[in-house]
Chains A and B, each alone.
Chain A
Amino acid sequence: MIDDRDQKLLEAVQKGLPLCSRPYATLGQSIAMPEAEVISRLTRLKQQGLIKRLGVIVKHKRLGYRANAMVVWNIPDTDVKNLGQQISRFDFVTLCYQRPRHLPEWPYNLFCMIHGKDRNIVLEQLRFMTETCGLTHYERDILFSRRCFKQCGALYKTPASQVLAYG
Chain B
Amino acid sequence: MDELDTKIINTLQLGFPVCASPYRQVAGQLGITEAKLLARLENLLANGTLTRFGPLFHAEQMGGALTLAAVSVPVAEFDKIAGIINAFPEVAHNYAREHTLNMWFVIATETPQQLTATLAAIARQTGLTVYNMPKKREYFVNLKLEA
**Interface residues of A, Cβ cutoff 8 Å to B:** 1-2, 10, 13-17, 19-25, 35, 39, 42-43, 46, 48-60, 62-63, 65, 70, 81, 84-85, 87-88, 91, 93-100, 102, 105-106, 109, 111, 115, 141-153, 155, 158-167
Cβ-defined contact, A145 with B137, below 8 A: no
Query: Which residues of the other chain, A, contact B13 by a CB distance below 8 angstroms?
Result: 55-56, 58
Q: Are A166 and B50 in contact (CB-based, < 8 A)?
A: no
B interface list, Cβ under 8 A from A: 9, 12-16, 18-24, 34, 38, 41-42, 44-45, 48-59, 61-62, 64, 66, 68, 70, 82, 85-86, 89-101, 104-110, 131-145, 147
Residue of B53, B99, B138 near A97 (CB, 8 A) is: B138
User: Contact check: which of B50, B58, B135 meets A49 at CB < 8 Å?
Assistant: B58
The 4 A-B residue pairs with the shortest CB-CB distance, nearest first, are: A88-B139, A160-B92, A163-B92, A96-B139
A137 to B146, CA, bound (A): 31
B34–A163 contact, CB under 8 A? no
> Does the CB pair A98–B52 fall under 8 Å?
no
- In Å, the complex CA distance between A43 and B20 comes to 12
A58, A87, A155 — most chain B CB neighbours (10 Å):
A58
Name 8 A/B residue pairs within 8 A (Cβ), A-sorted.
A43-B18, A54-B18, A56-B52, A57-B52, A63-B49, A98-B137, A150-B86, A158-B89
Q: Is the interface of A mostly helix, strand, loop or mixed?
A: mixed
Chain A residue nearest in CB terms to B118: A160
* CB-CB nearest in chain B for A43: B18
Q: Are A155 and B52 in contact (CB under 8 A)?
A: no
Known: A70-B104, A162-B59. A57 touches B50 (CB 8 A): yes
Give the nearest-CB partner of B50 in chain A: A56
Answer whether A160 and B51 are a contact pair too, CB < 8 Å, given A10-B57, A81-B137, A94-B141. no
Would A148 and B41 count as touching, CB distance under 8 A? no
Least CB distance, B98 to chain A, in whole angstroms: 5
Contact A153 B142 (CB under 8 A): no
- CB pair A150–B52 under 8 Å, yes or no, is no
Query: Which residues of B lie under 8 Å from residue A95 when comparing CB positions?
Result: 141, 143
Which one of B9, B23, B94, B139 lies within 8 Å of A85 (CB-CB)?
B139
Complex interface: chain B residues within 8 A of A149 (CB): 82, 85-86, 93-96
> Residues of B contacting A97 with CB < 8 Å?
68, 135-139
Q: Is the CB of B52 within 8 A of A49?
A: no
Whether A51 lies near B137 (C-beta < 8 A) is no
Are B57 and A14 neighbours in the complex by a CB distance under 8 Å? yes
Which residues of the partner chain B approach A109 to less than 8 Å between Cβ atoms? 136
